[in-house]
Structure formats: structure tokens, C-alpha cells
Amino acid sequence: MNMDFEAPKRQHPLGVFIIGAQFTWKVIQSSWPILIGATLGELKWYHLLILPAVLVLIGAFALLYYLRFHFYISSDALIVERGIFQRERLQIPFDRIQAVQLFQGPIQQVFGLTGVRVDTAGSSGSELELVAIRKSEATVLQQFLNSKMAATTLGEEEGQRADDAPDQEPEGQPLVALDFRGLLKVGLSQNHFKNAFLGLALFLSLFQGAEEQVSQWLDGVPVVLLSALGLTSVLLFIPGLVVMGSIGVLTSLGSVLLRYWRLNSTLGRDGLKLQMGLLRRNAFEVPFDKIHLTEWKSNWIRRLLGYETLRIRQAQAEGSGGLRVFIPAMEPVHRTAMESALYPDFNEENKAFDVAPVRRLRWLLFAAASIPALLLMTEPSTTHILLSTMWLMGVYWTTGKRYSAYRLRVFADCVIMEKGWFWQNRTVLKMSQLQGVEWKRNALLERRQIGHLVFHTAAGGRSFDYVHSDDASLIRDFALNQLHAAQPAPSRLAAE
Amino acid sequence: MDISTASNPPLDLTQLPRLEEVEYLPISKKYRGMRLAFWALVQLVVLAAGLTPFLMHKLGGYEDMAEFSAWYWPVSVQMIFALLWFLEEWKGFPRRGYAVRERDITYRTGWLFRSTTTVPFGMIQHSELSQGPVSRKLGLNHLKLFTAGGSGNLRIAGLEDADAQALRTVIEARTRR
């Protein structure tokens, strides 16, 4: 087997089938209206001949595409040449690579091949996929690219050392691994309400003709029977709720099974490794220094199970959501392991600031949440007054809880923003990776010296709202200072 | 992760360089005129559109369109917006300004919605000078600074030619790439 990537080479020959399958899928996606239109007209047997013709054409294109697709590695970039009519040469410098991801779709799993996906943070939002590589080759390529990425970001000296030093812990520290029971737990603690709507939308988009057929059938039903049907439909309301609920739970379970099947993750020396997925199996390798934001989310049920969801965000091209990896079921042990690897400064000794929002926020939250009660009071009656006082009392209690959950903590390098009481959300970012700091407020807030502090990162901006300007300006100065301290000093020439 | 012991003396938080103390440099006065002219132009168009039904009624075209009471609502809302916009331009203009420190640039803007954004030179990926036809006639430039991720992008509008060139040289010299 040829493990040398320096000479231009093609993908694995079986890749023709995968490229063919991708082309077929694209053709179906772009021509389905024509296909449906064709079935409505009168079909003669010879019309069906068009199908094999199209398949042959796709096959020929796939073969050509495969033959003209070359990839290789130069001294500082991964280079891909591709295209049938219009030749294209993509050159991806190692320092622009954000992540190298291995994946196995259903076809790749059958053939025992692996795809490689290289993500960059370019403003073009371009990413690159090699669809068919032998597994052993793919891991070598991934490791090679990862070592190059680390070398370019650490600087020459350290990069050299990282290459020479024997790997102390080749496997790394095991992190979350999900078995079937874990998957069930994650699935059941999803947001079923949201998933019910998602599932319903998916279901309806699969059976677009169904609605029409139902209405046609209803037209045929005698009038007397129809009124009886109308009555039963009221009785069907409760079963309807049950159906909706089960759709939600099923969608949650299904999506979790597809996405997180046999999830396995390890914390390496300088990056996070994880594999997951059923139909399309992904293997991510995320270097720590390419992580720009981590978000920890949990709801009440999740916390009962001792789980949190971790969202890792990498640099984004403008407007795109950015690269992100979700890990569900992070237990407290995993969280400390992850945080001590990513944010070594995160301990009480290094704490520089611990700030809560101004008390006004509590009243704003309360005022916003009491609008339903005020709407009820527009038509005063005993029940309405009773209901709205109960609502106000409940809301007063929850807003107190919500208010006390807001917290901004600043350490030597990391910033931790906590929000939420039922749905908790904790965002962590590093000041040395900040792209900018913003102090936002409106004229009314400024009079009371209140504003919002926004941290701009390569993975998007995150704001901590309703802080007193004294706190905010100190934190802003501190953040900028830490950011500058982490960067090389500007050259003297420039200072001139 | 390889953690080596780095020297980490405690920081005196009162001795940090203060952003509050910097002096902001104003942008060109001509830019205020340009913005106010744009405001006036928009108001003129909207006013014309708002008055059309009244005029048509007066000219006798639409006698059956007698009820205009509902029409006053959108017109008055629009007038409030126009006033707020004018105040934003008039009172907000003196607040527009930029401050350059050794390692970062700060831009302050807005009266009703105020924002002060600081972007370190080291994080600027590239910069862009742009001019529309009107601003070219007036000799004004708009400088846009791009950062990774795009959420920290900065647009400093209404710079005189000389200021814009000076600012750009300073920034180009201090960005890493």
C-alpha cells in the first residue's frame, strides 16, 4: 500500500461507486419535479428506457470525475485537483485547516472505505471531501494533517518538539462513551415538544400527496356520516395529544440513535477525538487550540440523570453557523476532565472577577413574564383575578431563580458566562482567542450606567447583559490586557 | 495538553491600561451633511407617498375615499420614527469617533443605541477601503476591518482621504498577516 501523499494520487477505485451514488442523489434532488410530472402523463414502455440511459450517463461522469480527481500534499498545503469540464485546483494551507474529520456513510461501510472531510474557516466557506480512502490511509492522513496543524499554530520550535516527542499517552483519557442504555437516556431527555413538530414536518414532507388524498376521500363520504365524524374528532383530541407526544419521543429517540450510535470519545494530549453515528459514522479530531467556544447546556431532566450536553464551536466563516460538535451525556467527571484540559487556569486562585447583573434585570424579567397576567386582568372576574395572582406569584419565584443564575466569572484566561435556571447554559471562552470586545447599551440604560458586554470570538459573539459599567469597563480592560499579553508584541517599526 | 509552569505574578487590576481614558478622534464633518442629506431624501420620498391619497382626494379623483381617519396612524408613527432617526444622526454624530492605541483600535458610535467596540490589531484578517459615488465627490472613505468569524467586524465610516490612508498604514503595519 502506498502511504506516500507527496505524488498526486487518485482515491480508491471503489470510489467510483460512491461518486456515482452521490451524482445519482444530486440528479434525483434536482429533477424530482420532472419525475413526478412524468408519472402523471401517459407512460409508454420505451419511456422507461430513459432511466438506464441516465444511469449510464451518470456512471460515465462518475468514472471521468474519479479519473480526473487527484490529491497530494505539498510542503505547506493539501492540494486537490478535480473537475470534468472545468478543472479546479484547491490549495488548502495547513494553518487554515480547522478540523479533519473521517466519515463512513452506508456505502463506505459496505466497502470498508472511509471518507475524509477537511474544514477550513475561509470566508468562502469551502470544505473538501475525499469520499473513498482506505481506512489505514485515512488515519495516516488525518494524523499527518493534525500534526501539521499543531505545528503551524504552536510555532516552529514547539512544533518540532511535538513531532519528535514520543506520544506519552497514545490512547488518551477516555471521555464519554454511550452504550444502548445511555443512548436511551439521552433520547428520552431531549426536548420532545420541539421534536414533535420536527417529526411532524418530516412526516408531512415525506407524504406530500397524503393531504389531498384525505380530502378526496372526505368528499366521497355521505353528509350524515361526516357530521358524526366531526363529533368523534373532538373525542380524538386526547388521543391526538398522545399521538403528538409519541411522535416527539420517537423523533427524539430516532435522531439520537442515528447521530450518537456507539459514541466514543477520548481526550488526547492536544485534542479531542470522537466517533459516533449509525448510518453515517463520523470520526472527529478537534485540536484544543481550534476550539473557540464551548457551551454546556442542560435541562432539569438531564441534570437529574447527571448529564450535560457539550457544544464545541470552531471558527466560522461569516454568516455560517461554524463547525460544531455536540457531545451529549457529559457527566461531571467528564466535564472536569474536559475543562482542565481546555482551560487550565479555571480554578478559584485565578479568579479575577465574579460579577452578577444589576438588580434591575430581575424586575425586567418579572415584568416581561407577567404580561399574560395583565392580559387576563383586562377582563376582570373572580377566576381571572385568582389565576393572574397565582401566575404573578409563580413568576416572581421563577424570575428570582432565573436572576440569581446569571453570573459572569473571569479567570486568568477563560471567561465563563452562566445563564438560565430550568434550561441552564454555560458558555466558556478564552480571552487569548478573542476577536474583539464591545460595550453596548442604549441611551436609557447609559443614564443608569448599565450595558451589555459582548465578547466577539471567531465562533461568533456572546453577550452578558445588564452589567454595571464600572464592572464592565474593568473586565473589558482586563480582557484586552490578557489578549494582548498572549500575543507577540508589535514590531518597533510599526510603532514608529 | 502539555502544561508547563509559566510565571504568573498577580496582576494589579487598578493599573491596567484604561480604555475609558483614551481620546476619540472625530470623523469628517462632511459626513454629517451626507447622512442628513440622505435622511432628508428618504423623508421626502416617504412624505410624498404619505400625502398622495390626500392630494388625490383634494383634486377630486376619489370622492368615495372619504374616510381618512385610519391613515393618520401610520403617518404619525412614521413621523416619530423620522424624528428619532434625525436625533440619532444629529446627537449621535459627535459621538462617532475612533481611538487608536498601540495594540488595538476602538470605535464608538450611536446615540440611542450606543456601542463601543475594540478590536486588537493582531486579530484583523484584512481591511477594505470603500467609496460610493457621493462619498468619492466629497473625499470620504469608509474603512472596514474584518476579523475571523465576522462578528467583530468594524466599519469606520466618513474618514477624510488623508486620515483613512494614515489609519490604514498603521493597521497594515500592525496586523500579523
Residue B107 and residue B158 in one domain? yes
Tell me whether residue A487 is in a domain.
no
pLDDT (tens digit per residue) in B83-125: 999 999 999 999 999 999 988 999 999 999 999 999 999 888 8
Does residue A225 share a domain with residue A120? no
**What is residue B8's predicted lDDT score, i.e. its pLDDT?**
57
Q: Are A346 and A335 in contact (CB under 8 A)?
A: no
Contact A303, A109 (CB under 8 A): no
Angle at A430 between CA A429 and CA A436, to 5 degrees: 90
Percentage above 90 pLDDT, chain A: 20
- pLDDT for the residue numbered B68: 65
* Separation of alpha carbons A247 and A7, rounded Å: 52
Q: For residue A474, which residues of chain B lie inside 8 Å, CB to CB?
A: 13, 16
Shared domain check, B101 and B77: no
Render pLDDT for A58-112 as a digit per residue (tens, 0 to 9): 999 999 999 888 888 888 888 888 888 888 888 888 877 877 888 888 888 888 8
Of B8, B19, B123, the CB nearest to A412: B8
Q: Are strands A450-457 and A436-442 parallel, antiparallel or unpaired?
A: antiparallel
User: Across chain A, what does the average pLDDT equal?
Assistant: 81
Among the partner residues B3, B16, B104, nearest to A478 by beta-carbon distance: B16
Question: Hey, CA dihedral for B11, B12, B17, B18, is it positive or negative?
Answer: positive
Of the residues A437, A440, A467, A469, the best mutation for testing chain B's interface (the one with the most B CB atoms within 10 Å of its CB) is A437
Across chain B, what does the average pLDDT equal? Answer: 85
Which of B1, B103, B149 is nearest residue A490 as measured by Cβ atoms? B103
Q: Kindly state whether residue B1 falls inside one of the protein's structural domains.
A: no
Q: Does residue B132 share a domain with residue B149?
A: yes
In a domain, B129, yes or no: yes
Residues A336-363 have a mean pLDDT of: 89
Give the residue, A235 or B173, on which the prediction is more confident: B173
Q: How many domains does chain A have?
A: 3
Cβ neighbors of A263 (< 8 A, separation 6 or more) are A176, A177, A178, A183, A274, A275, A276, A327, A328, A329
| For chain A, percent of residues with pLDDT exceeding 70 | 84
Give the count of domains, chain B.
2
Residues B134 and B170 in one domain: yes
Q: With contacts defined as CB-CB under 8 Å, which chain B residues touch A269?
A: 1-2
Q: Parallel, antiparallel, or unpaired: how do β-strands A450-457 and A407-410 relate?
A: unpaired
pLDDT at A465: 92
Cell numbers 446627537: residue: B91
Residue A192 in this model has a pLDDT that exceeds 50: yes
Residue in chain A nearest B91 by alpha carbon:
A443
Residues A157 and A200 in one domain: no
Shared domain check, A254 and A389: no
Confidence of residue A156 (pLDDT cuts 50, 70, 90): very low
What's the pLDDT at A456?
Answer: 94
Residue A179: pLDDT band by 50, 70, 90 thresholds? confident
Q: What are phi and psi of A49, to 5 degrees?
A: -60, -20
Query: What average pLDDT score do residues A453-469 get?
Result: 92
Q: Where is B124: in which H helix or E strand?
A: strand B124-130
Asked if residue A24 is part of any domain, the answer here is: yes
Q: What is the mean pLDDT of residues B70-90?
A: 89
Residue A275 identity: Q
Pair A215, A145 in one domain: no
8 A C-beta contact, residue A10 and residue A69 = yes
Exposure of A255 in the CB half-sphere (CA atoms within 13 A): 17
Residue B1 has a CB neighbour count (10 Å cut-off) of 13
| B163: three-class secondary structure by DSSP | helix
A360-380 mean pLDDT = 87
Q: Is the pLDDT of residue A131 over 80?
A: yes
Q: Would residue B71 count as lying in a domain?
A: yes
CATH code of A139's domain = 2.30.29.30
Q: Are residues B142 and B161 in the same domain?
A: yes
Grid cell listed for A105: 456513510
Domain that holds residue A367: 361-403
Residue owning grid cell 417529526? A199
Coil, strand or helix at A15? helix
Tell me the DSSP string of A397-449: HHHHHHHHH-EEEE-SSEEEEEE-SSSEEEEEEEGGG--EEEEEEEHHHHHTT
Residues B99 and B165 in one domain: yes
pLDDT of res. A91 = 82
The model's confidence at residue A409, banded by pLDDT at 50, 70 and 90, is: very high
Residue A45 lies in a domain: yes
Whether B15 maps to a domain, the answer reads no
The parent domain of residue B159 ranges over 94-174
**Distance (Å, rounded) from C-alpha B99 to C-alpha B26?**
9
> Which residues in B have their CB inside 8 Å of a CB on A?
1-3, 8, 11, 13, 16-20, 102-104, 111-123, 147-154, 170, 173-174, 176
Dist CA A187 CA A191 (whole Å): 9
Q: What is the strand order of the sheet A436-442 is part of?
A: A460-468, A450-457, A436-442, B113-120, B104-109, B97-100, B25-26
Query: Which of A122-126, A478-482, B127-131 has the least mean pLDDT?
Result: A122-126
The pLDDT value given to residue A162:
40
Q: Inform me whether the pLDDT recorded for A125 exceeds 50.
A: no
- Kindly state the average pLDDT of the residues A385-403: 91
Interface touch B149/A478, C-beta < 8 Å: no
B141 vs A492, which has greater pLDDT? B141
